[in-house]
Structure 1
Amino acid sequence: MAMKKGSLTVFLASGWKASLRSAAGGRDMAEEVAKAGKAGKCSLKLLESLRKRTHFTRQEIEALCRMYQKLVSSNTLIFSGGQCCVPPLSGISMSPAATVCEGLDRVVFRELLHNTFDLVTEEVLMDRIFCAFDRCNVGTIRLEEWVCGLSVFLRGTFEERTAFCFLVYDLNNDGYISKDEMFHLLRNCLVKQPQDEDPDEGVKDLVEMALRKLDSDHDGKVSFKDYQKAVKDEPLLLEAFGQCLPAETPCQTFISTLNS
C-alpha cells in the first residue's frame, strides 16, 4: 500500500468549543449579523465584537464582510495572481435569503477551499471542515462564523488549530476520536496496490499505531486531552488523520488581498 499526500507519512516516520462560539448578545447580535450580511458590511457593534474575538484588524474584518456578501449573493471567489475577482460559476446553487440563516452553503464553501486555499482533501474532511465553521449547525455559514473560522484558518494560535483539527476528526461530535472514526479517516489515505489482498488490514495497523501515539490514557480512544498532549509533544501529529488546515502560501496570499 502507498500513502497519499496529507496523511500519516510524517507520523509513521517519526471539549474544544470556544474559538467559533456564538457572539455575546444573543438575539441582538444575531440581528446585527443578519443586517451585516445583507448590507455587505459590518455595523460598528458587530465589527468591534469580531475585532476583540479574532486575530483580524478592523480593516481586514470589513474586507471579509464585503467578501462574504459577494460569496453569498453572487458566486465563489477565485484568486488569480493574488487578486480577488468574482467570475460567474455555473452549476452553483446558492442558499436562498432567509434573515439569520442566510449564508454560505456547502458547495460554495468547498469551491472557496479549493480555489482560494488550495485545499484538496478527502470528502469526509471537506464536510467536517464545513461543520467546524457552521457552529450553529443550520447548514450554512453565517457572517460571524465566517470571520471567526478564518481567524483560526489564517492566524490561529497553536492551541486554536489543535482544537480545530480535533473537532474535524471527531466525526460524531462526542468528544473522542474512536477507533472506528480513525479507520474511516485513514482508509482514504491508502492507495490499494495490486498485490494487496485485504487493504483494510493495513488501515487497522495504522489505527493501532495511531492509538499508540495518541492514546495516552490507554482507554482505546483519543480524548481532546490525549490529542492535545500528543500534538504538544510532537507538532507534526496535528494533521495526523488528513489535511484540514491550509498551507502558509495561500494564507499569506489571502491576507495580502485583505490589506490591498
Structure 2
Amino acid sequence: MGKAGRSPTPTTKNGAGAGGGAGVGAGVTNDALPTAAAAPTTAAVGSGSGGGGACRSTLHANKTILKTVSVFLASGKRNSSNQSKAAAAALQNKRQQRQRKMDELSGKINPKLLDNLRKKTRFTKDELDALCRIYRKLVSNCQYAAKTLASSSSSAAIAKPHSAVEGIDRIVFRELLHSTFDIVTEEILMERIFCSWDKAHEGLPLRLEGWLIGLSTFLRGTPAERAAFCFRVYDLNTDGFITKDEMFTLLRNCLIKQPQDEDPDEGVKDLVEIVLKKFDLDKDGKVSLDDFMGTVTAEPLLIEAFGQCLPTDSAVVSFFSTLQVKKNSLKNNLLMDN
C-alpha cells in the first residue's frame, strides 16, 4: 500500500515538468530565468554588431548622395555659365546686326565692309561713299512711298507688306533705271533686271551690298560679266536656257506693232527662227549660256538682242560725273563745318 501510494508522485512531478502544470510550471519558469535573461544580452550584442554595419552603410549612402548632389550642382553651374555666354553672344550678334542695318540706312559702311566691297566691285573708296549716300536716299524714298500707301485706307492692305521693307524696292529701282540710265523697256524686262541684279537674292529688295555689286557689273563690268547679266535677264524662268517661247515673249514685247499687220505674231515667229539660228551654236533648239557667250563674243552688238537691259555709254559718263560733283560738294560742306 505504501509503495502503491508513492508511485504516482514522481509521475506527477515528471508530468508537471514535462507538461507544465500550474504550480510546477511556475517553478520551472523561475529556474529558467537566468537563461532567459541572458538571451536578450546575446541579442543585444548581435543587434549592436548589425547596427554598426547599418551605420556604415548609411554613411556610405550619404556620401554617395552628397557626391551626386555636388556633381549635379557643378553641372548646373557649367550649364548656367554656358547659357549665359550663349545669351551674351546672341545679344552681341543682335546688336551688330542692328548696327549694320543702321549703317546701311545712314549710308555708312565700316572699314572691314568697305574693304570687302572694294574687292568685290570696281569702285573707288570715294565712289563707294557717294553710292552709299545714293542708297540711303533711295531707301528713304521707298519708306516714304510705303507710308504714303499706308495712309490711304483703301490701299492699307496693299501697303502693309511694304511697311517693314529695308532696301530698294521695285518701284524706286525702275524709276532709277528710267530717269538715271535711260533704260526704256517693257515691264517684263524691267522685272527681270530687278530680279537679276543681285544674283544671290532674286526678287528681294536690294540691300546695300547687292546694290553695289550689281551696279558695278551694270556700269563697269567686263564684257563677259555684262553678257552673263543679260543672259540672266533673258532667261525668264531661270532654267539656264533661253527657249523659243521666251524669245517670242521678249521679241514680241520689244517690236512696235504696225496697224496694217494682219498677224504680227507670224512675223515674230519668223524673227525667232532667225535669231535662234544665230545663237544656237550647239543646235539643240535652245540657247545656253555658252551659246550666248560665244555668239556675243563674236558679235558684241548682239548682247542686247532680246531687249535693252544695259545703260548707254553717255548715261554711264553722266552718272559718274554726278558722283564726282556730289563728292566735291560733300568735301566743301565738311570744310565749311570745320
TM range (shorter): 0.7 to 0.9
Q: 1:259: how far off?
A: 2.3
Amino acid of the structure 2 residue aligned with 1:105: D
Matched, 1:40 2:107: yes
Alpha carbons 1:51, 1:57 under 8 Å: kept: yes
Of 102-111 and 129-138, deviating more is 129-138
Task: Name structure 2 gaps, 5 residues minimum.
Answer: 1-92, 150-158, 326-338
Alpha carbons 1:33, 1:143 under 8 Å: kept: no
Q: Pairwise mapping of residues 23-34 of structure 1 onto structure 2 (< 5 A)?
A: 31=97, 34=101
Amino acid of the structure 2 residue aligned with 1:160: E
Residue 68 of structure 1 corresponds to 135
Task: Name structure 1 gaps, 5 residues minimum.
Answer: 1-26, 77-87
3-state SS of paired residue (2:216): helix
Could you tell me which of 187, 198, 219 is aligned with 1:123? 187
Residue 222 of structure 1 corresponds to 287
Residue 183 of structure 1 corresponds to 248
- Size of the alignment, in residue pairs? 219
Pair 1:138–1:130, CA change in 2 (3 A): closer
| CA distance in 2 between partners of 1:49 and 1:96 (Å) | 30
Alpha carbons 1:75, 1:89 under 8 Å: kept: yes
Of 228-237 and 194-203, deviating more is 194-203
| CA distance in 1 between partners of 2:148 and 2:230 (Å) | 28
Pair 1:138–1:35, CA change in 2 (3 A): farther
The structure with the greater share of residues assigned to helix is 2
Q: Pairwise mapping of residues 98-109 of structure 1 onto structure 2 (< 5 A)?
A: 102-109=166-173
Alpha carbons 1:134, 1:140 under 8 Å: kept: no
Alpha carbons 1:134, 1:142 under 8 Å: kept: no
Deviations 1:106-133 (A, max 9, x none): 0000110111111111111100000012
| CA distance in 2 between partners of 1:231 and 1:63 (Å) | 33
Residue 21 of structure 1 corresponds to none
Alpha carbons 2:185, 2:254 under 8 Å: kept: no
Residue 120 of structure 2 corresponds to 53
Amino acid of the structure 1 residue aligned with 2:241: Y
Higher relative contact order (CA 8 A, sep 6+): 1
Q: Identity percentage over the alignment? A: 58
Could you tell me which of 224, 231, 234 is aligned with 2:296? 231
| CA distance in 2 between partners of 1:103 and 1:58 (Å) | 21
TM-score normalised to structure 2 length: 0.60
Amino acid of the structure 1 residue aligned with 2:168: L
Residue 141 of structure 1 corresponds to 206
Computed over aligned residues only, the root mean square deviation of the Cα atoms, in angstroms, reads 2.5
Of 129-138 and 51-60, deviating more is 129-138
Residue 82 of structure 1 corresponds to none
Alpha carbons 2:142, 2:169 under 8 Å: kept: no
Q: 1:90: how far off?
A: 11
Deviations 1:190-244 (A, max 9, x none): 2222332211111101110111100000000000000000000101110000000
Deviations 1:15-44 (A, max 9, x none): xxxxxxxxxxxx99x947534312321111
TM superposition outliers: structure 1 runs of 4+ over 6 Å: 88-92
TM-score normalised to structure 1 length: 0.78
